[in-house]
Amino acid sequence: MGQALTRAEAEILAASQTKDIAPPLVIGDAAPAAERLDGNEFRMIVGQLQGLLAPRKRLNPGNRADPHARAEREWRKREQRSTLFGADLFADPAWDLLLILFAFADRANSLKVRQLQEMAKVPLTTAIRWLAVLDHRGLVWRETDTNDRRVTNVGLTQKGTERMLAYFAE
């Protein structure tokens, strides 16, 4: 049974599929006549968007040796555990943040702090606090987005990646 994507996951997958940022799409009478789409163009774009938002299959999803796939399975199990027993019973935000960054590292070099926070299902202040600790220990890097200075991107450092690879080694 497939898992539904969160909005943050969909944004990561869409960003990992496209290199250029497209201008916003205006639908209806608000769009200038030259930019209006006919029905076929609209259906084509919807199909492309659905393809981007569909869960991306790994080359060999059953491959137990793929450390990123193993990390994603562990993250999904942790989500299931929280759903079944309650998120307040289990709390390990630092590990959740590392796990998510590693699980999606093969699709996105970095995540926005807000995306990461939503995926980890922790308050933004908790995510920021733990990212500062992980940054101080050299496991993650943080940098202000060049296109939007209000956004901070975060990713695993080489040290963080090596530690996660060692943890998920067979």
Name the token pair of 75. 């993250």
Give 143's strand partners. 153
AA identity, residue 28: G
Q: Is 127:113 a contact under the CB 8 Å cutoff? A: yes
DSSP three-state, residue 152: strand
Helix (DSSP H) and strand (DSSP E) numbers for the chain: 7, 3
What's the whole-number average pLDDT of the chain? 76
Name the token pair of 156. 């695993």
Q: Kindly list the domain boundaries of the chain, sorted by start residue.
A: 12-53, 63-167
> Of 10-14, 106-110, 118-122, 152-156, which range is least confident?
10-14
Residue 57 has pLDDT above 60, yes or no: no
> Of 68-72, 76-80, 105-109, which range is least confident?
105-109
Residue 136 has pLDDT above 80, yes or no: yes
Short-list 130, 47, 67, CA closest to 94: 130
Which of 63-72, 85-94, 128-137: highest mean pLDDT?
A: 128-137
Q: Does domain 63-167 have CATH number 1.10.10.10?
A: yes
